[in-house]
C-alpha cells in the first residue's frame, strides 16, 4: 500500500479504517474527519483493484470482493452526507 501513499500521507486510510471512521461506534462517533488535522475533508477518493489482475504482482484474477466493498463504502458515505448537518 506504500505505493499509494498509505505511509507517506497521513490522510490516506484503508477501506477498513474508513468503515471504522464512519461507524457511529467508532473513534470519531461517525464523523468523517481527516486523521492528520481532524478537519472535514473537502473531497474523498477511493482506490480500487490494487494489484488485482496484475501478473507482475502474481494476481492474475479478480477477487470480486473489492468492488462490493467499494460500493458499500460509497453508499455509506452518500447516506452519511445526506444526514450530516
Q: How far apart, in Å, are the Cα atoms of 39 and each of 2, 32, 34, 48, 63?
A: 23, 8, 6, 25, 34
What is the domain range of residue 54?
2-83
- Given a cut of 80, whether residue 83 has pLDDT beyond it is no
pLDDT mean over 63-73: 85
Separation of CA 6 from chain center: 11
Predicted TM-score of the model (pTM): 0.76
- Given a cut of 90, whether residue 55 has pLDDT beyond it is no
**pLDDT value of position 1:** 65
Q: How confident is the model at residue 51 (pLDDT cuts 50, 70, 90)?
A: low
Q: Which of 54, 17, 49, 50 is nearest to 32 (CA)?
A: 17
Amino acid at each position: 500500500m506504500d505505493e499509494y501513499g498509505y505511509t507517506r500521507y497521513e490522510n490516506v486510510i484503508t477501506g477498513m479504517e474508513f468503515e471504522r471512521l464512519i461507524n457511529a461506534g467508532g473513534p470519531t462517533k461517525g464523523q468523517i474527519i481527516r486523521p492528520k488535522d481532524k478537519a472535514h475533508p473537502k473531497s474523498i477518493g477511493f482506490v480500487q483493484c490494487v494489484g488485482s489482475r496484475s501478473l507482475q504482482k502474481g494476481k492474475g484474477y479478480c477477487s470480486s470482493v473489492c468492488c462490493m466493498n467499494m460500493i458499500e463504502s460509497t453508499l455509506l458515505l452518500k447516506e452519511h452526507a445526506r444526514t450530516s448537518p
